[in-house]
Structure 1
Amino acid sequence: MRLTPEVGDRIAGRYLLREPIGKGGMGVVWLAWDELLHRRVAVKCARTDDARATQRLTREARNAGRLHHPGIVPVFDIVIEAETCWIVSSQIADALAKSHSEGVVHGDVTPENVLVTVDGVARLTDFGISRALCSEVTRTTATTGGFRGKPRYVAPEVARGGAGDAKSDVFSLGASLFMAVEGQSPYGEFENLMGYLAKACEGHVERPHRAGQLTEPLIAMLEVEPRNRPDAAEAEELLRGVPGLREKGEREFGEPSERTQPEDDARSAPPDTPTASLLRPPRALPPPLRHPLTISGTALVVALIVVGLLFFYGPWSSDSPDTAPAGALGDPRTADPCALLDAAALSRFGDTQVDPDYGELDRCDVLVLKGNAEEIAAVEVNFSNELREFDAGVPTRRVGNVEVASLARDGDECRRFISTPDRMQIIVVGERHAAPAPDPCALADAATDHAVSVLDRGPVPRRRSAWPADALARLDACALLDAASLKRVPGLGTRPSERGFGDWNCEWESPDGGGTAFVDLEFTRDNDLEDNGQRAVVAGTTAYVEPEEEGDDSCVVLTPHRTYTNALGDHTVELVLLTVSGQERSRTQLCGTAKSLSATAVRNIARSLPETPGK
């Protein structure tokens, strides 16, 4: 046998090579004809230049061969000839669910490993880096010195050195579907593969803009935290929830028809008619298909991208929610401030790290660290529903649909204001916290340039996932205090004087505007509340009281609502911050009123949201 196979060669005296139908890093896949059983097969040709390579390919054949299911590409044979290993399989597709139920993780779910038949059936192939969960020692990049899988589709936990598991396969499936919809990786576009790995390690996943009714399933499958990510069966339920998908899936993948039986297919079609082609990641929107595909019920969930469905529910659908112009901020509750920041773009200032869960709910930070992980500077992005105007002395510039105002440095802080076409504002703040630290205006300018480049391509990207059911973000802060409770503050008006961004902040003040009385209720986040004032019990919850925190005539109460671990593994407290100010009132009176109003707010939250786990 020659070292380079050609059309017409026979493998093991039985498999007649017809044509190559794809290739990858571990070999070339040929369409072949099994002259013994008269059926078409896919034959993978892989060079085995050492014993370890042979062992790896044998493992691939063994792991795929143990999976018997209509959605799994079965392995019929493995042939070792000289320095070449041939793995023989059919056109019958696989599904990840079956693979996982048999204890096998695929480890390389990508568009390149999805075969699509002329009948529009998608099938998973290439178990080249698969592993049996119970029979192999877990290997990581630290022990192997290399990286397994394709960086554009790799799950964050794998990029960080983890071995990967069934949840990692689900992420890679979501990333492959994202590629089919958006024309790029969920990590963005980079010339160097290390760019994708850097984004994966940071857990920075972009939100789909063109997915239409597939948006929520995609977001769920691309959750950064594996424990929050659906397994294959749960992903199936999400995908079946897309209108029209259940009917399509059952019609396409219900009871096997004669047309889909491999024996009938082999007899009815000539051997030189290919029945599979590799589905490759598109660089732009894919053209209409002659044979529309669907997402197979179990097969897609578990494993396969059915491109045809995208033509019903994809970016070109009139139902797509992303109709806002470039630069627009859009729906406040779904706009993602972290999507406007790029830690890698700020790495010239030092080690950088995204902090997505500190402070206001519309805020995201990038921290600048020095060698010992001490925070020396930061960039903050947050949103405002008030359009601040500037006089002629403030430099401004127009970029596409947005306008950028650059304020002069104020001590260790520097601010940039990006005005959006929907008359809202994005505020970028550069801060230095310790010496030596970068210039805060240089930080602010670098972050603003990146944000503007994102806004030049479209509206502010949406958050990667919906707020949890028990999150304060689902509430209107102004609805938590009624007129009767507000009358506890003498001279205070009972109508909100100002609503904050997303209705996550509400203010009430004296009707005359004289400042004799003021109440502010805000949803915010912190890492720890232990150092915030005096402990007090508010509506059965341990709260923290800070007299005179906002001036001599003020009292602040911080009441925890829920605690969780964010995408970086940091402990995070979501809380209600309530401030009361009033002239000619004692500190005891002010703090008593602040605790009473906080208790009212907490009770109204409990009536509005599910019980907070672990509270």
Structure 2
Amino acid sequence: MLVVPRSTRSASLAVVLTAAAVVLAGCGSSEDLAKVTYPRSTVPAAGAANTTGTTPNLPEGPVEPAFALDKLRAIDPCKLLDKEFLSQLGTPNEPTLGGYSKCSNYMKDKAGKKLSVSMTIGESLLGVKTNAEVAGLHAHVDGESIGKTCFVKAVTQGGKMPMGLTFQIGVDEGDACAPGRRIVEYVVERVRKQPPQRAAEPGTLATIEPCSLLDQAGRAEALGGETTERRNGLNECTWSASGMEVSVNLLLTSAGFGDTGDPVDVNGVKAKQRKKDTSVYPSCQIFWEHRKTAGNRAETVRVEMQNIKKANVDPCAKAIGAAKAMLPKLPKG
């Protein structure tokens, strides 16, 4: 279990992004972007000079109706990154699904060399600086930080907590941003015009809005006082107040993910508990399998309490209370 509080992680994300090896990103420049020449098939974004120091000062919400969060959750990521298109670039492999919103294909280009593609839908772009326009979207493109790798982050959600489509393209030789730009343009246009939908599965957590799961009463009980809310991707939400945090993460995991931990009952649901008391701060996770899915996978709910300020509270009791408040809002598994 991680020991870094989410509030700390969010505040430091701009620093983390300077190392492009981490979370598919690279650090942008704070220069007047309209006066910079961008290599590797990128062009300056319209209005990119008017940045806030991170992403452009875009209004809260989706930049286009097609990128609304509920629409993005309904997309099947591996059908979006489909073999028919990838065959134009080389020989695709079988896709690898990573949770609800990520898909990768470790394929070969037309010369038989490595061409790896990873895409995430609805990733947080907090701290990312735009330097280009791709498929009509403000974007950050970095083909320099790591040789033979191109990172692209295209903004689809504005406001204080921006989000977007992110891509990592790796090659054995040549310019990774050349195929990378084609991939991004193709994916963005499919999302706009004809996004492939998930198969209808009764009880799935994939399309649930996580920030709707804990009402005001549940937040007050867990944290006390006025809370702030932030998204960490399409399927995770965090509420904070006075140095404490409660979060919910809706996960697609391998079956047996939740086998370790101490048994705990959450209003009749058999869950597991992992408590951690450290010199940094106490925390506790409550998690349970919501439903089994194909391919030896399971949908899992994880609720976590982080007592960052080390208040005189039991983080597991608070996490269980929050989990109980969320249960009635979850679909039947």
SS at match of 2:206: helix
Give, in angstroms, the shift of residue 424 of structure 1.
Answer: 5.3
TM-score norm. by structure 2 comes to 0.59
Q: 2:152 aligns with which of 416, 423, 440?
A: 416
- Following the alignment from structure 1 to structure 2, what is the Cα–Cα distance between the partners of residues 591 and 541? 16
Q: Which moved more, 1:556-565 or 1:338-347?
A: 338-347
Give, in angstroms, the shift of residue 564 of structure 1.
Answer: 1.2
- Following the alignment from structure 2 to structure 1, what is the Cα–Cα distance between the partners of residues 275 and 296? 26
1:578 aligns with 2:303: yes
- Following the alignment from structure 1 to structure 2, what is the Cα–Cα distance between the partners of residues 460 and 601? 34
- Following the alignment from structure 1 to structure 2, what is the Cα–Cα distance between the partners of residues 549 and 427? 35
Give, in angstroms, the shift of residue 441 of structure 1.
Answer: 11
Mapping 1:90-101, distance limit 5 Å:
none
Q: 1:341 aligns with which of 81, 91, 102?
A: 81
Give, in angstroms, the shift of residue 586 of structure 1.
Answer: 8.4
Residue 33 of structure 2: aligned partner:
none
Amino acid corresponding to residue 353 of structure 1 in structure 2: E
Question: Relative contact order (C-alpha < 8 Å, sep 6+): which is higher?
Answer: 2
- Following the alignment from structure 1 to structure 2, what is the Cα–Cα distance between the partners of residues 595 and 490? 13
1:484 aligns with 2:217: yes
Residue 192 of structure 2: aligned partner:
459
- Following the alignment from structure 1 to structure 2, what is the Cα–Cα distance between the partners of residues 340 and 588? 45
1:598 aligns with 2:333: no
Give, in angstroms, the shift of residue 590 of structure 1.
Answer: 1.6
1:355 aligns with 2:96: yes
Mapping 1:111-510, distance limit 5 Å:
328-330=66-68, 331-343=71-83, 345=86, 352-356=93-97, 358-359=98-99, 361=100, 363-368=101-106, 379-384=117-122, 390-391=128-129, 396-407=131-142, 409=145, 415-420=151-156, 425-429=164-168, 446-456=179-189, 459=192, 461-465=194-198, 467-491=200-224, 493-494=226-227, 496-499=228-231, 504-510=235-241
- Following the alignment from structure 1 to structure 2, what is the Cα–Cα distance between the partners of residues 507 and 337? 24
Q: Indicate how the Cα distance of structure 1 residues 365 and 335 shifts in structure 2: closer, same or farther if over 3 A, else same.
A: closer
- Deviations 1:17-64 (Å, cap 9, x if unpaired)? xxxxxxxxxxxxxxxxxxxxxxxxxxxxxxxxxxxxxxxxxxxxxxxx
Give, in angstroms, the shift of residue 410 of structure 1.
Answer: 6.8
CA RMSD, aligned part only?
Answer: 4.6
Amino acid corresponding to residue 563 of structure 1 in structure 2: K
Residue 37 of structure 2: aligned partner:
none
- Deviations 1:95-153 (Å, cap 9, x if unpaired)? xxxxxxxxxxxxxxxxxxxxxxxxxxxxxxxxxxxxxxxxxxxxxxxxxxxxxxxxxxx
SS at match of 1:487: helix
Gaps in structure 1 of 5+ consecutive residues: 1-323, 371-375, 432-437
Structure number with higher helix proportion: 1
SS at match of 1:594: helix
Number of equivalent positions: 258
CA contact (8 A) 2:224 2:241 kept: yes
- Following the alignment from structure 1 to structure 2, what is the Cα–Cα distance between the partners of residues 581 and 354? 35
Give, in angstroms, the shift of residue 517 of structure 1.
Answer: 0.7
Give, in angstroms, the shift of residue 508 of structure 1.
Answer: 0.8
Give, in angstroms, the shift of residue 405 of structure 1.
Answer: 1.5
- Following the alignment from structure 2 to structure 1, what is the Cα–Cα distance between the partners of residues 105 and 252? 16
Structure number with higher strand proportion: 2
- Following the alignment from structure 1 to structure 2, what is the Cα–Cα distance between the partners of residues 587 and 350? 58
Amino acid corresponding to residue 240 of structure 2 in structure 1: E
- Following the alignment from structure 2 to structure 1, what is the Cα–Cα distance between the partners of residues 116 and 93? 9
CA contact (8 A) 1:527 1:572 kept: yes
Query: Considering only CA atoms, is the larger Rg found in Structure 1 or Structure 2?
Result: 1
SS at match of 1:459: helix
Amino acid corresponding to residue 140 of structure 2 in structure 1: A
Q: 1:556 aligns with which of 277, 280, 285?
A: 285
Amino acid corresponding to residue 300 of structure 2 in structure 1: L
CA contact (8 A) 1:547 1:587 kept: no
SS at match of 1:332: helix
CA contact (8 A) 1:418 1:425 kept: yes
CA contact (8 A) 2:148 2:174 kept: no
CA contact (8 A) 1:413 1:440 kept: no
Amino acid corresponding to residue 538 of structure 1 in structure 2: D
Amino acid corresponding to residue 487 of structure 1 in structure 2: A
- Following the alignment from structure 1 to structure 2, what is the Cα–Cα distance between the partners of residues 413 and 557? 38
Give, in angstroms, the shift of residue 534 of structure 1.
Answer: 0.8
Give, in angstroms, the shift of residue 562 of structure 1.
Answer: 0.9
CA contact (8 A) 2:74 2:207 kept: no
- Following the alignment from structure 1 to structure 2, what is the Cα–Cα distance between the partners of residues 418 and 342? 19
- Following the alignment from structure 1 to structure 2, what is the Cα–Cα distance between the partners of residues 426 and 519? 26
Amino acid corresponding to residue 497 of structure 1 in structure 2: E
CA contact (8 A) 2:74 2:206 kept: no
Q: Indicate how the Cα distance of structure 1 residues 582 and 418 shifts in structure 2: closer, same or farther if over 3 A, else same.
A: same
- Following the alignment from structure 1 to structure 2, what is the Cα–Cα distance between the partners of residues 440 and 556? 44
Q: Indicate how the Cα distance of structure 1 residues 480 and 398 shifts in structure 2: closer, same or farther if over 3 A, else same.
A: closer
- Following the alignment from structure 1 to structure 2, what is the Cα–Cα distance between the partners of residues 366 and 416? 14
Q: Indicate how the Cα distance of structure 1 residues 477 and 388 shifts in structure 2: closer, same or farther if over 3 A, else same.
A: closer
CA contact (8 A) 1:582 1:590 kept: yes
Give, in angstroms, the shift of residue 574 of structure 1.
Answer: 0.9
Q: Indicate how the Cα distance of structure 1 residues 530 and 458 shifts in structure 2: closer, same or farther if over 3 A, else same.
A: closer
- Following the alignment from structure 1 to structure 2, what is the Cα–Cα distance between the partners of residues 524 and 447? 28
Mapping 1:65-80, distance limit 5 Å:
none
Gaps in structure 2 of 5+ consecutive residues: 1-61, 109-113
SS at match of 1:601: helix
Give, in angstroms, the shift of residue 507 of structure 1.
Answer: 1.7
Amino acid corresponding to residue 368 of structure 1 in structure 2: Y
Aligned identity (percent) is 17
- Following the alignment from structure 1 to structure 2, what is the Cα–Cα distance between the partners of residues 547 and 441? 48
Amino acid corresponding to residue 365 of structure 1 in structure 2: C
